[in-house]
Copies of this chain bind each other. A is one copy, B any other.
């Protein structure tokens, strides 16, 4: 938002994965814009849908991914019924954690309405202590989400 004219602005980094995320009537707050918390729902949904396809079992597995930090910068307002796409790439991939980088995008466009981050740590479901990122998920990230 309000961040200048774009002069000298670096080219947007592409997102290797993009998924549609339609807005809902209830997403608009009383200013008529999608509420900021909805951007986190969009990012969370996109990461979890990708993880499910990569083999994460959110209910049956013994390791679960826990969000330890998230953040978002909002550049342009948006309103229902705007359709969104969410772009996803992996940032840092550590032993027990992954930093996801995301963009809230207009369909087919690269300029982001908002950009954000989620940091997930994998923990043992019972003890809640950090455990290594499961091999299958690490392999899928390295294959599909690095830029």
Are A58 and B31 neighbours in the complex by a CB distance under 8 Å?
yes
Give chain B nearest CB distance to A133 CB in angstroms.
15
Copy total for this chain: 4
Return chain B residues, CB-CB under 8 Å to A35: 25-26, 44
Among B36, B48, B58, B59, the residue within 8 A (CB) of A44 is B36
Summarize A's interface: helix, strand, loop or mixed.
mixed
Chain A residues in the interface with B (C-beta under 8 A): 1-3, 20-22, 24-26, 28-32, 35-38, 40-42, 44-45, 48-49, 52, 58-59, 64, 66-74, 77, 80-81, 118, 121, 123, 128-130
Are B72 and A71 neighbours in the complex by a CB distance under 8 Å?
yes
Known: A49-B81, A69-B74. A1 touches B32 (CB 8 A): no
Measured CA separation A118–B36 after assembly (Å): 10
Known: A26-B41, A28-B29. A1 touches B59 (CB 8 A): no
Task: Identify the closest chain B residue to A67 (Cβ).
Answer: B36
Measured CA separation A21–B26 after assembly (Å): 13
Q: Considering residues A31, A36, A77, which has the most beta carbons from chain B within 10 angstroms of its beta carbon? A: A36
Return chain B residues, CB-CB under 8 Å to A74: 66-70
Measured CA separation A30–B65 after assembly (Å): 12
Known: A24-B41, A29-B25, A44-B37. A66 touches B72 (CB 8 A): no
Are B36 and A128 neighbours in the complex by a CB distance under 8 Å?
no
